[in-house]
Structure 1
Amino acid sequence: MQQLLNIAHYEVVHIFKDRILFLVVFVVPFIYASLLGMIYASSILQQVPLAIVDLDHSAESRAVVSAFENSNDFRVIPSVDTYAELEQGMKNGTVRAGVVIPEDYSQSLSQHRLTQILTVYDGSNLIYGYNTRRYFQLVLNTFSAEHTAAYLGGLGMSKQEIKSVMDSVSVTMQVWYNPNYSYSTFIFPGLIIIILHQIGLLGIGLTITREKERNTWLQYLCAAVPQWKIFMGKALPYFIVNFFNYGLLLWLAARFINVKLEGSLALILLLGLLFNIIITSLGFVISLYAPNSLQVSRYLMLLSVPLFFIAGYTWPGTHMPVLLYGLGKLMPFTWMAEGLRLVTLKDLGANYLAITIIIMSCMAAFTSFLAVTFTKRRNPAAEGGLVVNSGSTYPKKNFLN
């Protein structure tokens, strides 16, 4: 028993001595829980962006519009007057759901004929899809009941007449982009990107730190080799492997997991190319300034969880705190995951991805610039700085006695 306590005491001492390990054990769980709590603070997805195309422009159709405007579950987007504008909004993400009121709506109601109201919603994000469907049913069922009650108020009608009025409004729902509610289509591409993100950063992030630990980095600094050649030589193998894995994992996802992957192959490859440049360059920069391999592994491990959630891939960024939403926009994973979803799931062209491509290109240029302009001057190791596993402190001789 004493030996067990001695070992435990020795480990506790090292936990408190190693600042990073102390943070991992005691602080990070609290930070993660607080971060996820802030992301999902709203708990209920409301104010879904809704476009209403009123083709009838009658008092009866305006009553339908008012029913949605008075619902806290929807936020009606103005200036959407045609089906083409609704479709455009659904493609670029400014609209997540739509209602189309037919031209003969009021006439059909007055004649007690069946009239259909078309509702559509974006199924590419299942969080929006599930909630929007429920909100549609709630608003339209309430509206239908109120309409019937108002019409029948004070009238003596037969059961058949009442049924005719009750069935006068029909709703057709369409799910766009992911009609089968495939969870693998919703989540799996994002998981592929985060895997490539973390593995890519870790692989290239250990290159320079490995040389530092072996005292061989000095030969690169002293050699008459320009910085860009050092970067290219170190990064090229990881870039090729990561790009190959990108194509392979997407193929496996489509072939064996039945993930919906459509759209332009050229755009898919372009996004992968830009993302790979960013990750390879960023990993090289991290490796340049990280003290050792252990710290690289720790930092990347700590970043993997919040990175995936603040990107807005699972929970809409518009429903997060503004600070987290803005922070997510600074991450290459955010743009890559959303861009891949726009291409493979919505089958959109380059004109819809212009902003994504421009921002990712700027990120690639910036990180590449940092990677090829590092100084070849060697800084002396800081005394008392971060070291692997808190240095070479060993237990006393009677440690296991």
Structure 2
Amino acid sequence: MIKSLMLRELTYLWRDRGLRRILLLGSLVGLVLFYATYSAQVLRDIPTAVVDLDRSAASRELVQKLGQAENLKLVAFPGSYQEAQELLKRGQVIVAVVIPEHYGKNVALGRQTNVYMAIDGSNEIYATNATTAALTVAGTISANAGVKALLSRGFDPQQARDAYLGVDIREEPWFNPTLNYAYFLVLALILNVWQQCCTLAAATNIIGETGRPSWLQFKLAGTSKWTLFVSKSVVHICVFMLMILPIYFICFGLLDIPLNCNWAVFLLFTLLFAVALHSVGTLASSFARNAVDSTRFGMIIALPSFIISGYTWPLEAMPASIQHAAKLLPQTWFFQGLNYFTFKNPGWPFMRQYFLALGIIALICYSAAALITSRK
């Protein structure tokens, strides 16, 4: 009986062309799109304009160092601040550096001099990278100027360097040393597409039967609701896992996205998430009045879940009410755990809370769905 029901559900899933295309193609299309988007991995060649109002040897040296910065690309040399401002407004440059008059003279005399740097903050990703690159150049220039000032006062070259550069702070990013955007975002965005497709499919689990004449046939045949929906659920979850396997193969095998944990443990974690995700969709399906309502409920749950999961914006920085709501969703525990598994792998004693949370969510949602369905 269970085998027949599972084959029947698989047939229904395959015959539904719209659902079949979403399940088979949604994640793969997303993978191609997102990897192409973030294929540069690190932002380089950020368009930069330099206004040199001094035109001295020192200012030309500063311009040269800006041009040698890894992430900056000098594309314009406007003659005034106003011209640079227009370039920023039109989006032709992201950074505008203004070297003031008497810059070279002040540097030679060891006086403090200010170099103005305007950064387009309308795009946070661009702005963050541009700020980092500009500060690196500024630190180098400042250090060189300080050493030259000490040399002009008669210091020995080595003494001047030791005195000015007595504290050398070196930053070293861990877990993602190159700050690769593709490593951080591609897998998460693909899995977000996958979880949305799965949620929409799971949202048809119960309403798909209660809305069909076959429901009456099952009742007359004496088929229990438990047998029917367990059979359907097993098929759905197996399909969800079959969808994700080629995605994982491409991401970890071909695109070299890091995975710092055991494959078996990671697949088990994904399976538990698929079960929890299916339970949420099943619960939405249980109290829906029709298939349209069920799809709406699924979308309401699936679409914002990634945003409030804490993956791209710290959960701790969100209002307390959103934090509590987010912890009720399996997506929060999965995407938080995903970050630990792919980059850090802190071990089972720490990660078991994520497994436990997904298991509890699945148990509660399936139980609530069974209770609601039994009264229909």
Classify the TM-score, shorter chain: 0.5 to 0.7
Tell me the distance in 2 between the aligned counterparts of 1:222 and 1:209: 19
Query: Cα 1:222–1:284, aligned 2, differ >3 Å: closer, same or farther?
Result: farther
* Other-structure match for 1:206: 204
Whether the 8 Å CA contact 1:209–1:287 is kept in 2: the answer is: yes
Residue 340 of structure 1 and its aligned partner are, at CA, apart by: 1.8
> What TM-score comes out, normalization by structure 2 length?
0.56
Tell me the distance in 2 between the aligned counterparts of 1:256 and 1:211: 40
Match of 1:229 among 221, 227, 230: 227
Tell me the distance in 2 between the aligned counterparts of 1:307 and 1:209: 23
Q: Does 1:296 align with 2:294?
A: yes
Tell me the distance in 2 between the aligned counterparts of 1:331 and 1:368: 14
* Other-structure match for 1:287: 285
* Other-structure match for 2:353: 355
* Other-structure match for 1:175: 173
Whether the 8 Å CA contact 2:282–2:366 is kept in 1: the answer is: no
* Other-structure match for 1:217: 215
Secondary structure in structure 2 of the residue aligned to 1:345 = helix
1:270-310 deviation line (CA, Å, top 9, x unaligned): 21121111122222222222111112222333443321111
Residue 222 of structure 1 and its aligned partner are, at CA, apart by: 4.7
User: Mean Cα displacement is larger for which, 220-229 or 336-345?
Assistant: 220-229
Tell me the distance in 2 between the aligned counterparts of 1:285 and 1:218: 21
Query: Cα 1:331–1:344, aligned 2, differ >3 Å: closer, same or farther?
Result: same
Residue 214 of structure 1 and its aligned partner are, at CA, apart by: 3.1
Whether the 8 Å CA contact 1:208–1:217 is kept in 2: the answer is: no
Residue 315 of structure 1 and its aligned partner are, at CA, apart by: 1.0
Secondary structure in structure 2 of the residue aligned to 1:180 = coil
Query: Cα 1:300–1:364, aligned 2, differ >3 Å: closer, same or farther?
Result: closer
Secondary structure in structure 2 of the residue aligned to 1:178 = coil
* Other-structure match for 2:117: none
Match of 2:343 among 338, 342, 345: 345
Residue 216 of structure 1 and its aligned partner are, at CA, apart by: 2.7
> Within 5 Å, which residues of 2 pair with 1:365-376?
365-376=363-374
> Within 5 Å, which residues of 2 pair with 1:241-256?
241-256=239-254
Whether the 8 Å CA contact 1:228–1:373 is kept in 2: the answer is: no
Secondary structure in structure 2 of the residue aligned to 1:179 = coil
Q: How many residues align?
A: 241
Secondary structure in structure 2 of the residue aligned to 1:238 = helix
Runs of 5+ in structure 2 lacking a partner?
Answer: 1-123
1:99-132 deviation line (CA, Å, top 9, x unaligned): xxxxxxxxxxxxxxxxxxxxxxxxxxx98xx69x
Query: Cα 1:274–1:251, aligned 2, differ >3 Å: closer, same or farther?
Result: same
* Other-structure match for 1:194: 192
Tell me the distance in 2 between the aligned counterparts of 1:324 and 1:134: 31
> Within 5 Å, which residues of 2 pair with 1:2-401?
134=132, 157-158=154-155, 160=157, 161-378=159-376
Tell me the distance in 1 between the aligned counterparts of 2:165 and 2:373: 76
Query: Cα 1:276–1:205, aligned 2, differ >3 Å: closer, same or farther?
Result: same
Tell me the distance in 2 between the aligned counterparts of 1:288 and 1:355: 28
Tell me the distance in 2 between the aligned counterparts of 1:190 and 1:353: 18
1:157-197 deviation line (CA, Å, top 9, x unaligned): 53634333112222222111111222121112222332232
Tell me the distance in 1 between the aligned counterparts of 2:161 and 2:342: 45
Secondary structure in structure 1 of the residue aligned to 2:322 = helix
* Other-structure match for 1:14: none
User: Mean Cα displacement is larger for which, 161-170 or 226-235?
Assistant: 161-170
CA RMSD of aligned residues (A): 3.2
Secondary structure in structure 2 of the residue aligned to 1:279 = helix
Tell me the distance in 1 between the aligned counterparts of 2:267 and 2:370: 24
Residue 258 of structure 1 and its aligned partner are, at CA, apart by: 2.9
Secondary structure in structure 1 of the residue aligned to 2:259 = coil
Whether the 8 Å CA contact 2:205–2:282 is kept in 1: the answer is: yes
Whether the 8 Å CA contact 1:231–1:372 is kept in 2: the answer is: no
Whether the 8 Å CA contact 1:205–1:296 is kept in 2: the answer is: yes
* Other-structure match for 2:59: none
Query: Cα 1:377–1:338, aligned 2, differ >3 Å: closer, same or farther?
Result: closer
> What TM-score comes out, normalization by structure 1 length?
0.53
Tell me the distance in 1 between the aligned counterparts of 2:362 and 2:298: 19
- Of all paired residues, the percent bearing the same amino acid is 27
Whether the 8 Å CA contact 2:200–2:299 is kept in 1: the answer is: no
Tell me the distance in 2 between the aligned counterparts of 1:222 and 1:283: 27
Query: Cα 1:370–1:297, aligned 2, differ >3 Å: closer, same or farther?
Result: same
Tell me the distance in 1 between the aligned counterparts of 2:169 and 2:230: 59
1:350-378 deviation line (CA, Å, top 9, x unaligned): 12202212211211222232344444443
Whether the 8 Å CA contact 2:206–2:229 is kept in 1: the answer is: no
Whether the 8 Å CA contact 2:207–2:285 is kept in 1: the answer is: yes
1:193-221 deviation line (CA, Å, top 9, x unaligned): 32232211211222432333333323334
Query: Cα 1:265–1:320, aligned 2, differ >3 Å: closer, same or farther?
Result: same
Whether the 8 Å CA contact 1:193–1:333 is kept in 2: the answer is: no
Whether the 8 Å CA contact 1:227–1:374 is kept in 2: the answer is: no
The aligned amino acid for 1:299 is F
